[in-house]
Amino acid sequence: MTVNVIQIRKKGSLTLPAELREKYGLNEGDVFTLIDLGEGSFLLTPRLSQVNRLGDRVAEILKEEGVSQDELLSALDEERQRYYREHYVKD
């Protein structure tokens, strides 16, 4: 276990040491959960956005299946048109 000392700056910001940001793949804008454990102790854990996590998973699947972004957008447009015809166009 490594011990690091950090300082609260203006507006309450903290800077995590570069070695920890690199080790855990942390970037500007990442969101964290801060839990007050009581008696002056805190637990700080990164919280990956569900949107980012799901977007990354979709990108992995598309790559595995060999589907391009253009193909995906075209298929989504076709599906949108089909849905519209089925639900809103009266014969």
- 20 part of a folded domain: yes
Q: Is 84 exposed, middle or buried (0-12, 13-18, 19+ CB in 10 A)?
A: exposed
- 61 part of a folded domain: yes
Q: What is the pLDDT of residues 22-72, one digit of tens each?
A: 998 888 888 898 999 999 999 988 886 677 778 888 989 999 999 998 999
Total domains present in the chain = 1
Domain span at 87: 10-91
DSSP 29-55: T-EEEEEEEETTEEEEEEE--HHHHHH
pLDDT at 18: 93
- 3 part of a folded domain: no
- 2 part of a folded domain: no
Q: Give the mean pLDDT of 7-26.
A: 91
Is-above-0.95 flag for pTM?
no
